[in-house]
Structure 1
Amino acid sequence: MEQSTHGATAARSWFLLLSLATTAGVLRVRGQSTGFVSIDCGLSEQSGYVDDVTKLPYSSDAAFTNAGSNHNVSAEHVKPSSIKRYLSVRSFPDTGTASRSCYTFPSIVPGSKCLLRATFMYGNYDGLNKLPVLDLYLDVNFWKTVNISKADSVHTAEVIAVIPSDTVQVCLVDIGLGTPFISGLDLRPLKNTLYPQVNSSQGLVLLDRSNFGASDLIVRHPDDPYDREWFPWSNLTKWRVISTKEKVRLRPEDAADVHFDAPSVVMQTAITPINASEKINFSWDAEPNYVHPTPRYTSVLYFSELEPLPRNAMRMFSVTINGMLLTSRYTPQYLFSYAFYGIEHSYSSRYDFTIQATTTSLTLPPTINAAEFFSVISTAKLGTDAQDVSAINAIKTKYQVKKNWVSDPCAPKTFAWDGLNCSYPTSSSPRITSINMSFGGLSGDISSYFANFKAMQHLDLSYNKLTGSIPYALAQLPSLVELDLTGNQLSGSIPFELLKRKADGSLTLRYNNNPKLCDQENSCQSTEKKNSTVTIYIAALVVAGVVIGLLLLLLLLGVIKNKALVKRHGKPENEADDLQSHSKNSDGCGLLQLDNRWFTYLELGIITNNFQRVIGRGGFGVVYDGFLEDGTRVAVKLRSQSSNQGVEEFLTEARNLTKIHHKNLVSLIGYCKDGDYLALVYEHMPEGNLQDKLRGGDGNIGCLTWKQRLCIALESAQGLEYLHNACSPPFLHRDVKTSNILLNGNLKAKVADFGLLKAFNNDDDTHVSTARVVGTYGYLAPEYASAMQLTKKSDVYSFGVVLLEVITGRPPILQTPEPTNIIEWAGQRLGQGNIEDVVDMHMHGDYDVNSVWKTADVALRCTAQVPTQRPTMTAVVAHLEECLDLEGSRFAGDINGNLNSSSSGGESNTSYNYYGADHYTDISPSNNTLDMGHNFGSGVATSPATR
């Protein structure tokens, strides 16, 4: 007689209620660690408990979802034997048909393999006695339809999948057959070698996992380190139980590359026919659904010999599935575990397994210890482009959108967010092409994140309460063909580029009913105050014109006088006059800009729309977004009255910026010295600074690829090299850090903030002594911090810290848990050949490992304790160019067309010696020690670190 899985369903539900326990508390998932995430859905916030049997903690689901409401099951379903986890649920009413409610698991290592388990016990929590049916999705891929068949039964859905991102979502979908609810959620990390059928394009959904011959207890954690649930299955009328107390191990040849690893306690029991001439027969029934009407299946069968056999005896048997031979002659090994996993089985409504002794083993009947049976699901559907997701979520947060904006914006297509249209390329991620937030009740300014949708064609923000100016960046959207801003409260000038695109017909631009908005044909003033305001404005312009005329006259006289003084005395009369000098720089640092412009404070107010939008803050003051009259976007750096930077440092920065011109140094457009008001007007760098890009200050944490990071580092080094070598006297920056490396719209890097710039007075100077230490903690060279001796190598040291930030994505001072500088933190790991724990995980292993090793070596040389052991910026530039070449060539083939073996991730045996034998440091993976000459404790040079 055959035993079907359906025949054991009721018993298994009872066993589950008796012994099921889960984990809680969020531990960071690290590759193949045993960190678990276990959630008791419906548990009150901040609540938690530890299960007495498994010793695993449970936590509330409040940190994983912001939707739904908590409920307790009805009293009629609460029994003394009830498991606490099933006494509460979270339900998601009124979500509407085909809408999602999602849980988000953060801090996943991208590319890791995980088991996720969702559990459900209805318990008539809503008093309706209506058993619901709902769909489960893993991210954007269909997982399973959950059909609640009994109010007091536990229903379990389990999937094993590769998680492509650093988060994963489990979504409950309302299909119109009752309110979705859930009792518990588990995430269990697995070794990546387990279940080789699972890959980036397909996952396994558990149908059954059986422990043959076991007692009435479910095997879970801690017996199974992955907390899989092994259900007992016996039939004492047909099968005899074999068991042992000896430990059952993996075969030695399987231990290094484990594909299947059933726990010993499961393998210690097995079944065999009571009648030695009989076969072992068991079966599973298929579970089709409307998404997969003919699902694919695969199975895993576990075997071990548990009885010591006479020397001349041998147990041998064959295994067939629906008549298809899996193995014809298999002999299990004594106390060693082995698993057969078949290819995907051809679809059938029923799967019959037969294990039969061979003719040479008639006295020893067949045996089996355990089995798993899975349906195969596709996980190949891609989520929306990551940049689009980040931008739309930032917009959702800013405007507090209350629509069905949950989970992925575009995928699956049937769940796309209201107001969005998307494109669905065949082999790449969906992109957002249209956003309609008309009549959405939006207030505040237009979010800068709208400029991040590079595939967007249509943007409708009409009839809201939006204020402020129109972001110039909208004009840079390459695909935008329609922009509707009608019926808002926008003010200021329409960016010239938008008007130009409207005029040439490439853009449909609507902006009516914005009384304070001006284009080329009307005024920026409101109708009620237009006449009086215009009169005042004209009067102000006349006064300003007179003032400017007088100042220009005085300036001209001052320049003439200054030239005479220079001729007689060899130097300008004062620093302010030096700012106005438009002669050629005789020191060989390039021509002075002839178009550096002097602004009044009144003009700055007009440029910045009355200092409306802040884009940065620093020790000098606040940086404001602004637009010149020709539409050029600028950054206005206005000195605050409480700033530590005085007039002298302000004049230093302004004067220096008129002398230095390089593609990798931020350009000065103009300045303001109007009474007590001091300001510098720079070119605008729309992508912000490197620090924010690396650590998420702009909402896009870790968004830079390794190649982009290398390009930024190289361009920054070229800017510093120019300061050190192309100017006479050379300049020292003194405040090199990631927040002072700015990025333009093409992610080209430019070094900024020259208020602390210091010049060598003589060519033979070895260092500059300063009266006080200036700069930023974490970047200061030890000789500068301790003795206030400043050299070019001080900038090199700071740049080395920048390189380590580029590699790791971490700040210069880490809290681990005590404050530790990044040089010590990275050096210890690199010295052990451990590159993977150093590299920023947000790069997802997408880099040439030799390129990263070489960059790390450059960084550590730059931060050597002794200044003379540090390379020059010229050497740094040369070696970063080599690093970039390595990264650029990682997909290049050899002469036979094969990919380079060191293309990404993994380890390398390459050693690097860039600066000669005197300063050689080997930090290749094959070297287990590291001597960098660092003293990591105080930042003061003492002696080299112990090797």
Structure 2
Amino acid sequence: MATRRWLLLLFLAAGVLQPLAQPDSRGFISIDCGLAEEASYMDDTTTLAYVSDAGFTDAGTNYNISAEYLGFSRRGHNLRSFPDGVRNCYTLRSLVSGLKYLIRASFLYGNYDGLNRPPASFDLHIGVNFWKTVNMSTWGADQGNTATVEAIIVVPNDLLQVCLVNTGSGTPFISSLDLRPLKRTFYPQATAEQGLVMLARLNAAPVNKTVTIRYPDDPHDRLWYPWFDATIWAEISTTERVYGIGDDLFEVPWKVMQTAIVTRNASKNIWFGWESLDTEPRDDDPSRPGYVAILHFAELQLLNASNGDLRQFYINLNDELAYPTGFTPEHLISNAIYDTKPSRHSGYNFSINATANSTLPPILNAVEVYYVIPTTNLGTDSQDAPAAMAIKAKYGVRKNWMGDPCFPRTMAWDGLNCSYAAANPPRITSINLSSSGLNSDISSSFAHLKALQYLDLSNNNLTGSIPDALSQLPSLTVIDLSGNQLNGSIPSGLLKRIQDGSLDLRHGNNPNLCTDGNSCQLAAKKKSKLAIYVAVPVLVIMVIVSVALLVFFLRRRNQQPGSMKNRRAVKPQNEEAMSTSYGGDDDSLRLVENRRFTYEELERITHGFDQVLGQGGFGYVYDGFLEDGTQVAVKLRSHSSNQGVKEFLAEAQILTRIHHKNLVSMIGYCKDGEYMALVYEYMAQGTLREHIAGSGHNGGCLPWRQRLKNALESAQGLEYLHTGCNPPLIHRDVKATNILLNARLEAKIADFGLTKAFDYHNNTHLFTNTLAFTPGYVDPEYQATMQPTTKSDVYSFGVVLLELVTGKPAILSDPEPTSIVQWARQRLARGNMEGVVDARMQGGYDINGVWKVVEIALKCTAQGSAQRPTMADVVAQLQECVELEEGRAPSFHTGGSSGDENYNAYASAQSTDVSSNTAFETELRIPTLAADPGPTAR
């Protein structure tokens, strides 16, 4: 880390001491999720009032945890679960735009559903920005399966939404949600472009080892977890108050600063550290996870300089100076040394060691560690979003109207279409609320949607008059109000729009509308002109329709099976049936809801197809950029491809109805004459096969922990296809080259051109007249029967697991072609695990975990499908392997000067709680590998 990035913060000023001011508690929002509506209570320890979440969300179901977990904090006794919908949100209002807030969410499973099976994981979003993946499976049942996550962000508006996103790995739930205002000057690393997610906030050597300091001792209600180890460090403390003076950017509670750890003599070092999942971090790449560390110091002893007393030390990060000179803390004054910008390393090792002149050992009072998340995604336009939320509130619209109306695109509200211009917020262009059971009058909020082009409110029970304000919407071209109970007349502003041809207003089947003679028409002179304007287009349309029908019937006649012109195009009767019935190309493409590109657009976004990312049976894959700068992959069908329209339509239709974090998503398609293409999300790190072989983007050996993580992610994607889709889907081409990695090295299944549906419920067998799969991955039972099942995918995935363990390809060519399955079984039969495991990993793994993965792989590749596990079983077993690997080393390591002590900084306070000596408020002390998108600890 560059030395110039570190600053010394000395809280000294020319003025008088200013004590810490307790902020107005009316700025606090404290929510007990799942509490009965209108219920509230006062927390015994903090005196903070907790209220029900009923006024913050309109989705989910309340539950109580099982009786054996009621010893946890009061806020964990109940929760709200969200079994329905992909995204469910809490809306926090009356905030101050541009102010910094601390947001904290806590989760205690407590076997609330009686299944004793917590969800593997789900995602949290702050507004339209990703916050964190909550991984419940890494927390033991004895702790009730708990987790707490916390972030510091700048809110862009006067409201904030916290959303739980179902990623296909279990039902999301939440126990409590807190929001605390902070001063604008606090935590300067948190800006409008980036937020801070807490990895650790540690109170060194507290007097009471079982208490987490928070409000009212910390007026901002931060949680300061106990951190100590008498076997490594000595402890010092004072009863005097420690002050922060001047422009205090952190305002650490004086009770935290009253205690500190010191080494047992001046020659020893204080050290601690953590690891990043990012194995190839670069300072110039802001997309990589970045970390911010804040070290707090105060001298607690009154030193006698005349006797030569001096406490001075260096601060090093990864054996380099983090602060350029020796540092001497001030007596009873809070000081902080901190990183002004996020740093990016594969691992972080801090050491604090005494200078040559120091007579006293180093000291440390408190530590904070955060990692950075980007907050640059643009939500729906600041005028459109409140209008849409007001419409939702007025009519009580449920559907999936949760979170931001337009962003992300995959979660846009049902019935809404939006425009997505580069560098500008999305705008709502179309609303379809037809047949939605709407009551009351037409909301005035529609008039605030200035980009609205199409509004369909037909077939509801709307009453009252039509508001003239709709005529002021400049882009509006169609309003459908038919089939309601509207009354009165059509406002003059709308009549003028109709007359000049800029608006199509449909208002039929409103019995009480336009009952007063000419109340829906302009003056007589204008009426005649209106008739002309209406009649002429109608006549033109009738002529066009007549010509189109004539052409249609002539083409149909020429395309009869007996016609010599088209006889070669007749479909053979024995051609393989598709998993989805298609009425024809155009009918099929109507099912594709994603963006449709023209060939010219593809040429433009790929810069003339100048950069090839890869090649497959369908054709070449090209690099491209959309208008808004989004990078995409464009798979263009080659004219020589053996995959035709059938595979193209199959993949396009499947990708529009499946959505999972471990499946590559489709952005759009092209069917422009002879040109066919699919446009996907860009997977920056290439294929899993490349990384196994060491030919990936970083060119290094993929570490075992990353291999295991990718195995679990791929398995979750396949499990979703098999169990989360109805009917289940068989991929039929699972292989390491069809597993892609994104910029965060997260694995996603790709290439669905051979995917087929299989109806378990009707025991419908799927026969094919062509064998799919790639050599080395073929299920022998499928090869013999031509009848693929989900167990065919299981077999292929077992081969991928063996590739991950061995580092070898599916078929070995030396000395003669041999399948990896046969090769591994021969060596394992002799107990030769060392001859199987990839030697490039140099023992960086838990051998028991590797054995378990190999056992899973061998079960998956059993000859008979009945002996193979389901993908759900594979996911569960791989999750156990991940836990084994994560348990191999502590999450946040600390120690003395020798550096060989390995100590879990959080272990000594695992049963700590502010109010009840439990773990509900302290589960963050063990950050988990799988849940963290950027930071990871060891």
TM-score (normalised: structure 2): 0.49
TM-score by length of 1: 0.48
Which has the higher relative contact order, 1 or 2, with Cα contacts under 8 A spaced 6 or more apart? 2
User: Quick check: which has more Rg, 1 or 2?
Assistant: 1
